[in-house]
Structure 1
Amino acid sequence: MFKKNNLFLGVLYGLIVPVLAWLVFAIILKNETVILDRPVTPYLIAIGINLVMLRFSARAYLDKTSNGIMIATFVCTLLIFIFKIYAR
């Protein structure tokens, strides 16, 4: 999976798991796909998987890919917590 050292690919790799978690969780609950009223556990698991992917790309010395995964992970984390704060 990690063969090219590219920032854009790193961002894409980093967004795949959180988006899949959001879609799967929306399908399981069969409600509207709004992130605001959902439990945060699946998204935190997705962030943990992103951190594992970050570790593998860092061990392969793919610095730009690692930076892209890190950027996507931090953006997703910030969005989740911002949405959770304003959902109250």
Structure 2
Amino acid sequence: MFNRNNTIIGVILGCLPPLLLWLIFVIFLKNDAIIMDKPAIPYLIAIAMNLLMLRYCARKHFDLTSRGIMIATFACMLLIAIFKFR
């Protein structure tokens, strides 16, 4: 069995919500949803999902997994900010 308290698992878990929301909002909805009138909403939802996962892992004392989720959250949001401001 693998160790659940792992930074790599945290990074993977932290990248899932932004990727999932990108698939939902861009590919499936094709910008037809009313919520897409506000371009920051999908990213705020992804941050909220990551914060919930971060809170859960912190309460379970998965420190390395929490660190991985935090790293992925900051990296994804930094990439989004860079590409949105260009």
TM-score of the two chains, using structure 1 as the length reference: 0.81
* Aligned mates of 1:11, 1:56 — CA distance in 2: 15
What is the 5 A alignment of 1:40-79? 40-79=40-79
Measured on the aligned residues, the alpha-carbon RMSD in Å equals 1.9
* Aligned mates of 2:83, 2:41 — CA distance in 1: 14
What is the 5 A alignment of 1:7-86? 7-26=7-26, 27-29=28-30, 39-86=39-86
State whether residues 40 and 80 of structure 1, in contact with CA within 8 Å, keep that contact through their aligned partners in structure 2.
no
* Aligned mates of 1:52, 1:70 — CA distance in 2: 11
TM-score of the two chains, using structure 2 as the length reference: 0.83
Instruction: Give the total of aligned pairs.
Output: 78
Q: Percentage identity across aligned positions?
A: 53
**Alignment partner of 1:29: what SS?**
coil
Structure 1: segments with no counterpart, 5+ residues? 31-37
* Aligned mates of 1:23, 1:49 — CA distance in 2: 15
Runs of 4+ in 1 over 3 A off after TM superposition: none
Structure 2: segments with no counterpart, 5+ residues? 32-37
